[in-house]
Amino acid sequence: MACVRTVLGDVDAASLGAVDAHEHLFQVSPLLPGDELDDRERSEAEARALRGSGFAAMLDATPIGLGRRPQDVAAISAATGLAVVASTGIHREAHYPEGHPLRDLDVGARAERFLADLRDGMPVRDEPGAPAARHDGAPVRAGVVKTGIGYWSISAFERATLEAAAIAHAATGAALVVHLEHGTAAHEVLDELERAGVRAERVLLAHADRLLDPGFHASLIERGVTLGYDGMARWREHSDHELLELTAAVVDRGHDRIALGGDVARASRYVAYGGMPGLAYLGDRYLPRLRERVGDEVVERMLVDHPRALLALSA
């Protein structure tokens, strides 16, 4: 049985329904002052809205050091019926200011942290000596490794994280999620990971759709990678129409290895925190248009088949 590691335990990958492949139930970063996702009740309300919009599961993409709260995430999952795959890993360097303790960790120490989260469970808080997160007596474990890079750059800090992520992947089979800044350096990331022994089939490139270039996207999918399209309702960057047309153009080239997410990510964009459009936007407002544009079968593969294959532990 291929299994997916959720915060409530391992489940048969075949049992996963529609997956929102990029969200954050909790997140606190110096890059997002005043936009903290840090309220259990409000985050639970958004999870309920996502569940009500037709999703059975979500990938929570908050890595170490950015306010993830695994015990609360597990409680929200249990209360709402929304399966949640949590992240270990370290984000792009800009999220961690000078003096942050993660900056002192070498590759081996980072890999140990990732492996502990995947195998033994995450701590309640990402602080020294914090107790283990548990739900109904069981550890709350991560199921993927999240990393990130800068705009057309991979710093030494970020290369160390990629290398550590490759070590954790080799030991557990967990997939890697890589944040791209505006879709840049995608091939370069895949080159780095392949040199470290990670096949492109085990990688999700988040925010690939920030770059509206179907030919470029086709070249990435041809390497075997899954592209994360999570930029709907970000109209300052591009309209939903442009994203729909990008998707259709990639599909017309014979490719649909795409996973869909909302990456709503900020309090000012969560309805329960007083903002908009909220987690339900993807299911309620974007997916009907996508189904009309590319067809139900293609969308089903993006929501179910591709995330299921990616999230299944391969080791």
Quickly list DSSP for 188-220.
HHHHHHHHTT--GGGEEEETGGGS--HHHHHHH
- What 96-104 contacts at long range (C-beta under 8 Å, 24+ apart), as own/partner pairs, is 96/65, 96/157, 97/30, 100/65, 101/128, 102/64, 102/65, 103/157
Q: Report, in angstroms and rounded to the nearest whole number, the Rg of the chain calculated over CA atoms.
A: 18
pLDDT tens, 238-281? 999 999 999 999 999 999 999 999 999 999 999 999 999 999 99
Residue 314 has pLDDT above 80, yes or no: no
Q: Which residue type sits at 109?
A: A
Quickly list DSSP for 233-280.
T-TTT--HHHHHHHHHHHHHTT---EEE-----SGGG-GGGT-SS-TT
The residue written with tokens 């303790």 in the block is 101
pLDDT tens, 47-94? 999 999 999 999 999 999 999 999 999 999 999 999 999 999 999 999
Closest to 189 measured CA to CA, from 166, 169, 172, 173: 166
pLDDT tens, 149-192? 999 999 999 999 999 999 999 999 999 999 999 999 999 999 99
- Pairwise CA distance, residues 175 & 193, whole Å: 12
Residue 1 has pLDDT above 80, yes or no: no
Query: Which of helix, strand or coil describes residue 161?
Result: helix
User: Tell me, what's the pLDDT at 129?
Assistant: 87
- Pairwise CA distance, residues 179 & 203, whole Å: 11
User: Tell me, what's the pLDDT at 315?
Assistant: 59
Summary mean pLDDT of the chain = 97
Q: Which helix (H) or strand (E) holds 129?
A: none
- Pairwise CA distance, residues 36 & 32, whole Å: 7
Residue 116 has pLDDT above 70, yes or no: yes
User: Tell me, what's the pLDDT at 161?
Assistant: 98
The residue written with tokens 């903002």 in the block is 275
Percent of the chain as helix, strand, coil, to the nearest 5: 45, 15, 40
Contacts with 167 (C-beta within 8 Å, 6 or more apart), sequence order? 107, 108, 111, 114, 115, 196
Determine contact, residues 196/162, Cβ cutoff 8 Å: yes
pLDDT tens, 190-207? 999 999 999 999 999 999
Determine contact, residues 152/180, Cβ cutoff 8 Å: no
